[in-house]
Every structure is written in structure tokens, then in C-alpha cells.
Amino acid sequence: EDQVTQSPEALRLQEGESSSLNCSYTVSGLRGLFWYRQDPGKGPEFLFTLYSAGEEKEKERLKATLTKKESFLHITAPKPEDSATYLCAVRGNAGKSTFGDGTTLTVKP
């Protein structure tokens, strides 16, 4: 059974304080690892898809990386508007997406 574990559960940062969120996974035949951002009361907003170990993608202050066992979402010099819950999901050979519990990020000004 595919599994996704995200850590930490919650992260509080000062504005400008860089950090990383972790997503550890086990999956039968990785077809994609996905990062989403979710604001309270709203649907998840797609950020990145990674397909193979060594792959990296960037968008503004966010950078996602992938190894065979985990993915990191690096946040550089975060701003208060980056506060949200970040979700990680994997899709395996069965075509089913499995989501983690998410990391709730709070960035204080």
C-alpha cells in the first residue's frame, strides 16, 4: 500500500527565515509526486509535479526536489503570504493518488 508521511506537522517561521518541508513516501512504481498548497476553506492549488529522482522544480520562493524515498519543499526567504498548508501526494502504478496529512506553515512578519 502506498504511504506518504509529511513532517513537520506544523512549522512557524519568521519572515525571511528559510526552511524545508519533508515528504517521505513508499509507492509501487512512482508515476508522479505532487505538491499542493491549500489555504483554509479552499481547495488545494497545484504547485509542482516531480517524476524521477534528481528532478528539481522552482517557482518564486519555492523549490521542490525528489529522491527515491523523499521529497523536499524548500522555502527561501518566506513571506507572510506563504502561510498555508502544503500537501504532498504520490501516484503509483495503480493510478491512485495518496495524500499526506500536510504541513501547516505560518510565517510571521
**Number of residues in contact with another protein, rule: CB under 8 A?**
23
Which one among 13, 21, 23, 36 touches another protein, defined by CB under 8 A?
36
Residue 23 near residue 71 (C-beta atoms within 8 A): yes
Quick check: 41 binds another protein (CB under 8 A)? Answer: yes
Question: Of 11-19, 27-35, 56-64, 69-77, which part binds another protein (CB under 8 A)?
Answer: 27-35
Residue 63 near residue 57 (C-beta atoms within 8 A): yes
Quick check: 17 binds another protein (CB under 8 A)? Answer: no
44-103 binders of another protein (CB under 8 A): 44-46, 49, 51, 87, 89, 91, 95-97, 99-102
d(CA 8, CA 43): 21
Quick check: 32 binds another protein (CB under 8 A)? Answer: yes
Which one among 1, 14, 29, 42 touches another protein, defined by CB under 8 A?
42
**SS3 (DSSP) at 78:** coil
Q: What is the DSSP letter of 77?
A: S
Cis peptide before 8 (omega within 30 of 0): yes
